[in-house]
């Protein structure tokens, strides 16, 4: 009680007032000076570094949301959908001594004289003219809100920062086309009547084209592409992680359509593959004839 009374009746003496007052003023001024000196001698630059890092993180998130389906999780490109980004033909060769990117062959070829980042931002925002790249059937859609896309300007800037950040860690392009990432047209052999019927099922009744791409046929970007599916299927069966019962490519394709959760591949362009994305209902919703035709058609893609 006495203690409380001493607190509430407290009156600082003159000496105490002068000392605490002066100490406080000195503390305030020194804190300001210290902050100022730290700010101009590196603290601001360090925060700039941090926020650039965080912008790249945000860019990665938007890239995997919006771009990876067509450009690949490593920027390696997806056959039939989108060209590679993370190779020196596009980014320019990384110079470890100077810590910079060299001249981009792609930008030189199309006569883009401004910066690489500017090009990425411009194409992401507004799309690009289809004839600038004759091997791709699908135009690059506009992504900026201003042009009818889903992304704000800051998101597009973050994506460009993320893509350029591949500089030091470029992966080789998956194919040898000038832009990289594009293989030759799949299967030149003419389709049989049965396979032609399967193609119509792919495009029509089954609705596969909404999610899957086949070069020159469909450009769905939700599931994996079906180019060279027969070849891919052979490889999957031999995969050590494979848990299904298929013995050959056609069986594997059937299993993947009828019972897609039996074996989910580990890596998708957008990150770890997730089960249950592919509906498990096609085994019952498709007529047996249609299903057989579809499998026949997909099996012809080598």
Residues forming contacts to another protein in the complex (CB under 8 A) are 7-12, 14, 17, 20-21, 23-25, 27-28, 31-32, 34-36, 39-40, 43-54, 56-58, 60-61, 64, 73-74, 152-155, 162, 165-166, 168-169, 271-272, 274-276
**Least distance to another protein, CB of residue 168, Å:** 5
Contact 276, 207 (CB under 8 A): no
The total of other beta-carbon atoms located within 10 Å of residue 210's CB is 12
**Least distance to another protein, CB of residue 6, Å:** 10
What does DSSP say about strands 100-101 and 213-214: parallel, antiparallel, or unpaired? unpaired
d(CA 120, CA 264): 33
**Least distance to another protein, CB of residue 43, Å:** 8
Identify which of residues 69 and 254 has a Cβ nearer to another protein in the complex.
69
Identify which of residues 61 and 302 has a Cβ nearer to another protein in the complex.
61
183: phi then psi, degrees, rounded to nearest 5: -85, 175
**Least distance to another protein, CB of residue 128, Å:** 24
**Neighbouring-strand partners of residue 94:** 101
**Least distance to another protein, CB of residue 167, Å:** 8
**Least distance to another protein, CB of residue 178, Å:** 24
| Of 65, 70, 297, 84, the residue nearest 200 (C-alpha) | 297
Total residue length of the chain = 302
Identify which of residues 57 and 289 has a Cβ nearer to another protein in the complex.
57
Identify which of residues 76 and 290 has a Cβ nearer to another protein in the complex.
76
Identify which of residues 148 and 216 has a Cβ nearer to another protein in the complex.
148
Alpha helices in the chain (DSSP H): 2-8, 14-38, 44-62, 68-71, 88-91, 105-110, 116-126, 153-164, 193-203, 229-238, 249-258, 282-285, 288-299
List, in order, residues 6 or more apart from 243 with CB less than 8 Å away: 262, 263
Identify which of residues 3 and 14 has a Cβ nearer to another protein in the complex.
14
């Amino acid at each position: 009680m006495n203690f409380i009374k001493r607190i509430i009746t407290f009156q600082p003496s003159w000496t105490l007032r002068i000392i605490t007052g002066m100490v406080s003023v000195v503390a305030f001024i020194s804190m300001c000076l210290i902050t100022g000196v730290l700010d101009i001698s590196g603290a601001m630059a360090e925060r700039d570094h941090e926020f650039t890092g965080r912008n790249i993180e945000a860019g990665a998130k938007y890239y995997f949301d919006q771009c990876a389906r067509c450009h690949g999780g490593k920027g390696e490109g997806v056959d039939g959908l989108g060209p590679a980004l993370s190779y020196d033909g596009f980014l320019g060769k990384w110079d470890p001594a100077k810590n910079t990117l060299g001249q981009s062959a792609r930008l030189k070829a199309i006569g883009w004289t401004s910066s690489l980042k500017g090009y990425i931002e411009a194409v992401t925002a507004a799309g690009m003219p289809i004839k600038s790249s004759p091997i791709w059937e699908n135009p690059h859609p506009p992504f900026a809100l201003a042009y009818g896309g889903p992304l704000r300007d800051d998101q597009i800037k973050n994506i460009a920062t993320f893509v350029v950040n591949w500089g030091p860690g470029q992966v080789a392009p998956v194919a040898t086309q000038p832009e990289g990432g594009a293989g030759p047209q799949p299967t030149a052999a003419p389709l049989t009547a049965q396979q032609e019927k399967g193609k119509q099922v792919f495009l029509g009744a089954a609705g596969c084209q909404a999610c899957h791409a086949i070069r020159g046929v469909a450009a769905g970007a939700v599931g994996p592409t079906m180019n060279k599916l027969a070849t891919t299927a052979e490889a999957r069966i031999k995969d050590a992680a494979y848990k299904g019962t298929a013995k050959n490519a056609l069986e594997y394709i059937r299993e993947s359509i009828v019972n897609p959760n039996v074996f989910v591949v580990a890596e998708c362009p957008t990150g770890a593959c997730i089960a249950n994305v592919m509906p498990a209902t096609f085994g019952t919703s498709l007529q047996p004839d249609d299903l057989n035709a579809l499998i026949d058609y997909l099996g012809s893609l080598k």
